[in-house]
Amino acid sequence: MGVAISLKGKNAIVTGGGGGMGRCTALMLAEAGANVMVSDMDGAAAAAVAAEITERFDVKAVANTCNVTVKSEIDAMVEEAVKAFGRIDILNHVAGVFGAVDFLEATEADYDKQLNINTKGTFFVDQAVLKVMIPNRAGKIVNMCSQAGKYGFPTNVAYTTSKFGVTGMTQSIAQYAAPYNVNVNCVCPGIVRTNIWERALEDIRRQGGDAEAYFESRLQGIPLKRAQTMEDIAHMFLYLSSDFADNMTGQAINITGGRVMH
């Protein structure tokens, strides 16, 4: 038996695949041999990543536009994937949103945005994909969570609430899906310098602050003393999507450089 991860012949959906960690994950699955549906709220971004996949790898890639807060769009996404590939073997649900709002200043809209995208979106994307995996009695579902799904953050209470929901939901769906031989896990990144971080650092610069010093200060609590990369996160999505993770389910795996150890 070889040790290289191969997804040759597998069919995957990657939500939030139009950029950042979603794009990185979609490319990594394709490099491992999977056919990939790249789904994103930004249809043009999804199409660009799908085109990049077909240019670089000998697999099939299709683009899809989907708002994960709208169940009818989720159902249409899954239907399109089944039509394109015949079956779905892997779901990497990367789509999500971050928000830092002072607790006493947070509005109902602030709260609803976090819960609708991060928690409700995960619920109905997983549900729709599981329905088509159950008849095959096989599948891998991997949800995006966060270190904020493991401990509280006073600076983003609604976001933390949404991610604790993803952790518990993943455990619950894993138990529901286990009799059908479907594995359900989630990945909990720490600090990844995505576009969200870049926007926050740009705000600091506009206010006259030292953005790079602030970012470095956030790394001091990490035992390995570095931020996590998008590749760090995508590697775990790849592993959990593969046969090597056949006996893992209901897990929330930390990729935090040791910042979280539970």
CA distance 199 to 151: 24
**DSSP, residue by residue, 61-72:** EEEEE--TT-HH
Domains of the chain: residue spans and CATH: 11-191+229-255 (3.40.50.720), 193-227 (no CATH)
Question: How do strand 90-93 and strand 182-189 relate by DSSP bridges?
Answer: unpaired
**Which tokens hold the place of 154?**
């006073």
Catalytic status, residue 159: yes
- Beta carbons of 141 and 126 less than 8 angstroms apart: yes
**Which tokens hold the place of 175?**
């138990």
Task: Please name the residues in contact with 193: beta carbons below 8 A apart, sequence gap of 6 or more.
Answer: 215, 227
pLDDT at 244 (0 to 100): 97
Catalytic residue among 111, 151, 159, 214: 159
DSSP structural state of residue 137: T
Q: How many residues does the chain have?
A: 262
CA distance 30 to 32: 5
Tens place of pLDDT per residue across the chain (262 aa): 568 999 999 999 999 999 999 999 999 999 999 999 999 999 999 999 999 999 999 999 999 999 999 999 999 999 999 999 999 999 999 999 988 888 999 999 999 999 999 999 999 999 999 999 999 999 999 999 999 999 998 888 999 999 999 999 999 999 999 999 999 999 999 999 888 778 777 877 888 989 888 888 889 999 999 999 999 999 999 999 999 999 999 999 999 999 999 9
Q: Is 5 helix (H, G, I), strand (E, B) or coil?
A: coil
Helices assigned H by DSSP within the chain: 20-31, 43-56, 71-85, 108-114, 121-133, 157-177, 195-206, 211-218, 230-240
